[in-house]
């Protein structure tokens, strides 16, 4: 699929994807959702806030891999609230045994009655390192 451009109620997904003879996907996607409430309703869920993401898919050596850079602002889903979040991750072997190398930071998080001012999570499988 080239020149992918899907829009629904202010949410826009653009990009280009190709599927190789090995069944793996290459390409990139860009998600811009300044208000996720309508897109969430299409999935029979209630949510609000903004999400932006850049996703690159790469099929290599028989594995589906991805790079993701994303952020969220004032996100609310059920009783979970996130003031802001930033994610940067490299994901390997998505269709086999997934491995994540990356980081996530969040501020002003509230879930199940627990409030967290700041949270950070890092993962580096090459160094056998996971830290929350």
Q: How far is CA 98 from CA 26, 74, 125, in A?
A: 17, 29, 11
pTM of the full structure: 0.83
Confidence (pLDDT) at 78: 86
The span from the CA of 53 to the CA of 60, in Å, is 22
pLDDT band, very low/low/confident/very high, at 131 (cuts 50, 70, 90)? low
Instruction: Indicate whether 132 pLDDT > 60.
Output: no
Q: Is 42 strand, coil or helix?
A: helix
Confidence (pLDDT) at 125: 74
Confidence (pLDDT) at 53: 98
Q: Would you list the domain boundaries of the chain? A: 4-131
The span from the CA of 118 to the CA of 116, in Å, is 6
Percent of the chain with pLDDT over 90: 72
């Amino acid at each position: 699929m080239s020149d992918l451009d899907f829009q629904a109620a202010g949410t826009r997904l653009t990009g280009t994807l190709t599927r190789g003879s090995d069944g793996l996907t290459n390409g990139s996607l860009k998600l811009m959702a300044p208000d996720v409430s309508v897109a969430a309703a299409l999935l029979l869920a209630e949510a609000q806030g903004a999400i932006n993401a850049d996703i690159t898919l790469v099929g290599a050596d028989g594995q589906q891999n991805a790079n993701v850079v994303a952020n969220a602002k004032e996100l609310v889903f059920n009783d979970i609230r996130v003031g802001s979040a930033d994610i940067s991750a490299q994901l390997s072997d998505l269709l086999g045994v997934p491995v994540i190398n990356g980081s996530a930071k969040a501020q002003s998080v509230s879930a199940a009655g627990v409030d967290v001012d700041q949270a950070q999570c890092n993962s580096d499988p090459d160094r056998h390192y996971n830290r929350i």
